[in-house]
Structure 1
Amino acid sequence: MEGGADALPARVSLKVAPGASKESVDGWLGETLKVRVVAPPERGKANAAAEKIVALALGISPDDVSIISGHHSARKTIEIQGLSVGQIRSRTDVSTWT
């Protein structure tokens, strides 16, 4: 099933490492997408940065990425509008980036 504006949101497991020296999408470990953010884990700063970097990697608006669980944990579940899980995995496969 292809994603689109009327598609159900895709849910993805996310592991966020806050306080990193640089922001990056580090690829997949099994079913979990790993990201690093510079922002500290306080007052939602790391969560907002994680949503933004995932959106940037996917080429979509940050408004289309939402953390739905794990707000106070490194392990989160995010919902992404307009893309299928397959499209998300393809766009975040760091082994294909140049």
Structure 2
Amino acid sequence: MSAFSAFPDHVRLTVRLTPNGGRDAIDGIETNAEGQDYLKARVAAVPENGKANKALIALLSKKLRIPKSAVGFISGETARKKILRIDGDPEDLSKRLKTLAEG
């Protein structure tokens, strides 16, 4: 299973976020014990008042060269594991995510 899946008008991305991680970075793809893949990300922001989530959206929008408004949460706003919806052309986004994950 991939860390992201394409739909007709968006891509869903599974992320494991480490807040207070010292820097904003994408650390590649990892697989958990259940065999699920996720994108590892870290942000310097603290997990208070949505600061880490905002930093994650800013990081992904910068790396993928998309507007922040194209990234939203499906689930996990208060958890480390999050599922994001990224609006846009799924084929283009999938290519960008593969490049980003390979790093």
The TM-score bracket by the shorter chain reads: 0.7 to 0.9
Q: In structure 1, what is the equivalent of residue 97 of structure 2?
A: 89
Aligned CA distance change for structure 1 residues 45 and 15 (closer, same or farther; 3 Å)? same
What is the aligned counterpart of 2:44 among 31, 34, 38?
38
Deviant stretches of 4+, over 6 Å = none
| Aligned twin of 2:29 | 28
Q: Is the CA contact 1:16–1:74 (under 8 Å) kept in the aligned structure 2?
A: yes
The alpha-carbon deviation at position 66 of structure 1 amounts to 0.8
TM-score, length basis structure 2: 0.77
User: Equivalent residue for 1:58?
Assistant: 64
- Taking the aligned partners of 2:96 and 2:70, their CA distance within structure 1 comes to 12
1:33–1:52: structure 2 CA closer, same or farther, 3 Å change rule? same
Unaligned runs of 5+ in 1: none
RMSD: 1.8
Give the stretch that moved more between structures: 25-34 or 64-73: 25-34
Letter of the 1:42 partner, please give it.
E
* 1:3-58 per-position Cα deviation (integer Å, ceiling 9, x unaligned): 9xxx5111010111000111101111142111110110011110111111011111
Distance 1:54 1:14 in 2: 11
Inter-partner Cα distance in structure 2 for 1:55 and 1:24: 12
- The answer for unaligned runs of 5 or more in structure 2 is 1-5, 32-36
Report SS of the residue matched to 2:27: strand
Aligned sequence identity (%): 28
1:92 is displaced (CA, Å) by 1.1
Aligned residue identity for 1:33: L
What TM-score, normalized by structure 1, do the two folds share? 0.81
Moved more, 86-95 or 72-81: 86-95
